[in-house]
Amino acid sequence: MDEKYEKFTIKVEYKGANKRAFPWSVYKDFTETLVKALRSMRGGPDATEIIPESIEDGSVNNIYSVPESKVDGVRKFIAGQNENWDDHERRGAEPFYNWLAAKGAKASARIGEEENQDVVIPFIQASHAVNSMESITGIIWSIGGTEAKIHMKTDFDGMVTCEAGEDVAQKMSPYLYHMVRARGESIRDYVTMDLKSFKVLDLEMDMGHRSKWEEEELFERQEKAIDKIREIVSPVMSCFDAEEFWKELRDE
């Protein structure tokens, strides 16, 4: 006889949170930390028993199904850390709490149609480092060396020196000077959210050679310059053509 499953809903709230701002990469990282937390609970479900069902608006409502026989473990997680938690359970739940802390988020959860219960995040010291899974986007500037490092130029974190290992570095080598999104393990400062270290685990997306991005950026700057010239000159020179003026400058 097939085991019955119960719906488990966890609501995540932070600035700008809605299901359209919760893409696959974010959902995947969130779910991985949640699964790790739930399976670490005594009596909790195994990773293969946690079934993603849907994402609904109202901030972000993530709905999963878990076996009825494992609901007590889920309830223990929702109730939060107390003297009944052992070290294995505390370590297992830490990445989930870190994910919430990194987003400045709060969460609440419920089983079935029960009332939502706040998920209490344990106190984190200000100097605590936030360990989590995340993706970073940037241009690969160099790969290799004796320590098989990957250097990425990112908009948000500046130039980042990533650990990779020989296998991952070799896999990433065809994407030298490409804009990529890389997935891996990060350590950030809890207060400033500065990236302290990043270990690349896999390539998530190749977005093309950097020349493509530089051309698009140049085009965007030119468009802004044309608009600015038009704004300044047009009121006094009605026949002035900003685009023709720009073309003449480029041709000279």
> Are residues 114 and 17 both part of a single domain?
yes
> Are residues 14 and 113 both part of a single domain?
yes
SS3 label, residue 192: coil
What is the count of structural domains for the chain?
3
Distances (CA, A) of 174 to 108, 182, 233: 44, 14, 47
Output the pTM of the full model.
0.52
Query: Are residues 111 and 71 in contact, defined by beta-carbon separation less than 8 angstroms?
Result: yes
Sign of CA dihedral 134, 135, 140, 143: positive
Q: For the domain that residue 186 is a member of, what is the CATH number?
A: 2.40.50.140
Q: Output the pLDDT for position 171.
A: 93
* Helical (H) or strand (E) element with 25: helix 24-40
- For the chain, percent helix, then strand, then coil, each to nearest 5? 40, 35, 25
> Are residues 175 and 107 both part of a single domain?
no
> Are residues 19 and 105 both part of a single domain?
yes
> Are residues 63 and 149 both part of a single domain?
no
> Are residues 46 and 94 both part of a single domain?
yes
> Are residues 185 and 107 both part of a single domain?
no
Phi-psi group of 115: left, alpha or beta (phi > 0 → left; psi -120 to 50 → alpha; rest → beta): beta
HSE-CB of 170 using CA atoms within 13 angstroms = 4
Q: Output the pLDDT for position 71.
A: 94
Per the structure, the complete domain to which residue 233 belongs is given by: 212-251
> Are residues 136 and 101 both part of a single domain?
no
User: Does residue 93 lie within any of the structural domains?
Assistant: yes
Q: Say how far apart CA 104 and CA 13 lie, in whole Å.
A: 9
Query: Are residues 152 and 207 in contact, defined by beta-carbon separation less than 8 angstroms?
Result: no
Query: Are residues 188 and 128 in contact, defined by beta-carbon separation less than 8 angstroms?
Result: no
User: Does residue 111 lie within any of the structural domains?
Assistant: yes
DSSP letter string over 85-147? --HHHHHHHHHHHHHHHHHT-EEEEEETTSPPEEEPPPP--TT-EEEEEEEEEEEEEEEETTT
Q: Which residues of the chain have pLDDT under 50?
A: 125-127, 237, 249, 252
